Amino acid sequence: MSIRIDSENGTLTLHTAHTAYQMQIGRGGHLLHVYYGPDAEGTFARSIVPADHGFSMNPYEIREGRNYSVDQLPLEYPGSNIGDFRTTAVDLIADNGICGCDLRFKSCAVEKKAYTLQGLPAARDPETEAETLHVVLGDEATGLEAELLYGVFFEKDVITRAVRLKNTGDHALTLLAAASMCLDLPERYTERIHFHGRHTMEMQTERCVLAHGIQTISSGRGMSSHHHNPFTILCEEKTTEEQGWCIGVMPVYSGNHRTDIEVDQKESVRVVTGINRDMFTWRLEPGEIFETPQVLLTFCSSGLEGLSRQLHRFFRKHILRWPEAWKTPPVLLNSWEAVYMDFDAKRICALAKQGARLSSDLFVLDDGWFAGRSSDTKALGDWTADKTKFPHGLVTVEEDVRKQGVSFGIWIEPEMVSEDSELFRKHPDYALRVPGRKPVMGRDQLVLDLSRQEIVDGLYNQIARLLEDGGIRYVKWDANRNVADLYSAALPPERQRELSHRYVLGLYSLMERLTAAFPQVLFEGCAGGGGRFDAGILYYFPQIWGSDDTDAVARLSIQRGYSFGYPPECVGSHISDVPNEQTGRTVPLSLRALTAMSGTFGLELDPARLSEQENEELQRYIGIFRRYAGLIRTGIYSRLRPERERDSLFAWEIRAEDVSEVLVFAADTDPQANAKAVTLYLRGLQEQAVYRLTCVEPETVWNGSRPLSGQLFTGSELMQGAFSIRPFSGTAPAALFYLKRTECA
């Protein structure tokens, strides 16, 4: 049983395979958070030592000793205006003027399955392996009820949290903040890791020492953003890949998110996560319910690698859903960097033919194919084929591509509209804009108001028409600007600040309908690369284009950042031409190919511009990817290097869950003259087992005077430093090794 309710001690405990999470109903009925850590039995409330702290007030009914203060206690879901002066999880104003809420315990119950949320993604539970704890807190003065939801995924060591806020009173309530969770932690959590960036440079890993006060990681861009990924890790100073406590906090949400980390006067750490309270309110009429997005929580006592492993396993079972036909990952050729918008049917068919020669599985026609789209200033909104480029329509191209044994995929950007488009001319009010103000332009386009049902319906019909004949097997769904000008022609004034969340709900409903109606289609998310790379999108679309920067060197740090929270098979990653379009850098094909293999692997170039020899090499890399794709999609991922910032050596390992085979990748982004040999310390292998090494790329690597390929190593040797490789050079800065467990000892 993963949930225990002990009425005698007033404790509620969640157990997963290796962790425990405990709450205690405090004296005043406040729900206290008393423990989250390695699995343990017991009552952890004793960690709270009552003391009289000046300027920390006491509830009216508990004043003796002055040592019970909500300002000092670890609270599970704190309201505001009650004497807890830290950042709060929920804030509101009632129509009768009452502000804030004082939430006290009312009831709790256990359900033998995972909870679901209305219109929001919530971790799937296909085999009903999860349990849910429901805890109801209530505020008498306003009638707000907060039902805290805890989904306990025992095997995965993941707890999901969300909150159902209900107005049980007589007055309408306006929520000013409605976080999905609060987590009050002890002072041992002194650092945080988060993933910041910008367009074409997402997921830069940053580790900081926590400071007193509030540190915020957020997005107000209407999307989870290139700038701050909705994923934060709290850890100890001593936490490394292999040791130390850490907690991952990841909202399953694609809109404006916010994580506040507050270090208070006693160095306790409060983490509040959920929808960004800026530009947000939600009106709850009597009887109405508001559900917050879900947050994934996972604790690991053995460092960051374990934390990532827990999340990767969780994603694979409970978030990602691959179309049956694409369970084996397709190798795709995407037209974008090959031809941009400069094409016609003939050029596209020729490009697809080149892809077919290389034995790719899928050809993707990127931006530029629809009516009037001759540049990125026009035509978004009209999702029919351009007659000049495709006089006989798309169907003939689709057929031509299919005749070559390659599936056909297409790019769309459905949330956007160009002023120069039929849709905008007909329905100018469909675009978000503030009356009386000129709209803010991003890539010369506007954002459609997805809070409106008729707009979502219209988009569904347009996209369904494209997909109906079954010819399109893949869709890349792009979104190339952030959301501003928040004003909806369809909402009353008091609901205008609901718009950014309503937009996300509209988007999710569209994704839900399309993926349900077209389960054979593989959807890939994209927002100018990783501008909306989050668990919410991944719930519908199992892969997301990782970055518009296709330079392999830049990609190594971007993809390393993703690996902390997301499994490699969901990170869209392609081999592109050199010099690279974004950075101007020229790196060998081997580095480009092996980097793409730590993601989805695809091509984004015109093979006709490559030499015969390069085409042959490409074909060889495709073969290598196919050989190991299954392992990449299911294996355990370890970040081996860099160990320190500014270390130019990147290395990762993917081992099968049963440790019978291992793939090791290494690359040096800044090879030195007179360089040292490199020792790789592998992880997680069976110490006594014997592994046979194969050099996959390059095929011949020497270890002194002996070739490395064919050499046998024990697991211990591989983990303790016997695996050394020659220095990397500028012409061959990347290598891939494969280790297979042999029967011999």
Binding flag, residue 526, ligand DGJ (CB under 6 A): yes
Return left, alpha or beta for 684; rule: phi > 0 is left, psi -120 to 50 is alpha, else beta. left
Cβ neighbours, 10 Å, residue 214: 14
Contact flag: residue 202 with ligand DGJ (CB under 6 A) = no
Q: How far is 428 from 446, CA to CA, in rounded Å?
A: 10
- Residue whose CB is less far from ligand DGJ, 192 or 476: 476
Check: CB of residue 510 under 8 Å from CB of residue 521: no
Residue least distant from ligand DGJ (Cβ): 367
CB of 367 to ligand DGJ, least distance (A): 3
* Closest to ligand DGJ by CB, 105 or 370: 370
CB of 478 to ligand DGJ, least distance (A): 5
Q: Which of 534, 549, 606, 653 is catalytic?
A: 534
d(CA 280, CA 499): 8
Q: Which stretch binds ligand DGJ (CB under 6 A): 36-44, 420-428, 456-464, 526-534?
A: 526-534
CB of 76 to ligand DGJ, least distance (A): 40
- Least Å distance, CB 336 to ligand DGJ, is 5
Q: Decide if 49 contacts 39 (C-beta within 8 A).
A: no
Q: Is 155 a catalytic residue?
A: no
Query: What x-and-dash track marks residues 445-484 binding ligand DGJ by CB under 6 A?
Result: ---------------------------------x-x----
CB closer to ligand DGJ out of 526 and 603: 526
Binding to ligand DGJ by CB under 6 A, coded x per residue (else -) over 548-567, reads x-------------------
Q: Which is nearer to ligand DGJ, 139 or 366 (CB)?
A: 366
For residue 577, state whether it binds ligand DGJ (rule: CB under 6 A). no
What is the spatial distance between Cα 61 and Cα 28, in angstroms, rounded to a whole number? Answer: 8
CB of 226 to ligand DGJ, least distance (A): 11
Q: Does 528 bind ligand DGJ (CB under 6 A)?
A: yes
Nearest CA-CA partner of 1 in 127, 154, 126, 135: 154
Check: CB of residue 411 under 8 Å from CB of residue 474: no
Backbone Cα Rg of the chain: 27
Stretch in the footprint of ligand DGJ (CB under 6 A) among 93-101, 168-176, 347-355, 522-530: 522-530
Interface with ligand DGJ (CB under 6 A), residue from 91, 184, 367, 485 = 367
User: Among 265, 299, 287, 292, which Cα is nearest to 277's?
Assistant: 292
Name every residue whose Cβ is closer than 8 Å to that of residue 110 and which is 6 or more positions away in sequence. 3, 5, 131, 132, 133, 134
Contact 15, 39 (CB under 8 A): yes
The reply to whether 545 sits near ligand DGJ by the rule CB under 6 A is: yes
Residues whose CB falls within 8 Å of the CB of residue 379, separated by 6 or more in sequence, listed in order: 370, 371, 372, 373, 418, 420, 421
In the complex, the smallest distance separating the C-beta of residue 603 from ligand DGJ, rounded to whole angstroms, is 13
Which backbone phi and psi does 279 adopt, to 5 degrees?
Answer: 55, 30
CA distance between the termini of the chain: 41
How far apart are CB 555 and ligand DGJ at their closest, in Å? 13
What string marks each residue from 314 to 353 as x (binds ligand DGJ by CB under 6 A) or -?
----------------------x-----------------
386 makes contact with ligand DGJ (CB under 6 A): no
User: Count of H helices and E strands in the chain?
Assistant: 12, 41
415 binds ligand DGJ (CB under 6 A): no
Active site residue 39: no
- Residue 574 has a CB neighbour count (10 Å cut-off) of 25
* DSSP secondary structure, 336-384, as one string: HHHHTT---HHHHHHHHHHHHHTT-SEEEE-SS-BTT-SSTTS-TT--S
Token pair, residue 314, equals 């969780």
Candidates 319-327, 525-533, 626-634, 699-707; binding stretch for ligand DGJ (CB under 6 A): 525-533
157, 241, 260, 366: which one contacts ligand DGJ (CB under 6 A)? Answer: 366
596 Ramachandran zone, left/alpha/beta (phi>0; psi -120 to 50): alpha
Interactions with ligand DGJ, residue window 487-506 (CB under 6 A): none
**Minimum distance of ligand DGJ from residue 533's CB (angstroms):** 11
Q: Is 411 in the site for ligand DGJ (CB under 6 A)?
A: yes
List 444, 614, 661, 717, catalytic entry:
614
Smallest distance, ligand DGJ to C-beta of residue 532, A: 11
Closer to ligand DGJ by CB, 474 or 737: give it.
474
* 546 near ligand DGJ (CB under 6 A): no
| Strand, helix or coil for residue 292 | coil
CA 555, distance to chain mean position in Å, is 17
Q: CA triplet 178, 292, 223: central angle to 5 degrees?
A: 90
Would you state the structure tokens that stand for residue 610, as one six-digit string? 């490559």
Q: Which is nearer to ligand DGJ, 90 or 522 (CB)?
A: 522
Active site residues: 534, 614
Binding site for ligand DGJ (CB under 6 A): 336, 366-367, 411, 478, 480, 526, 528-529, 545, 548
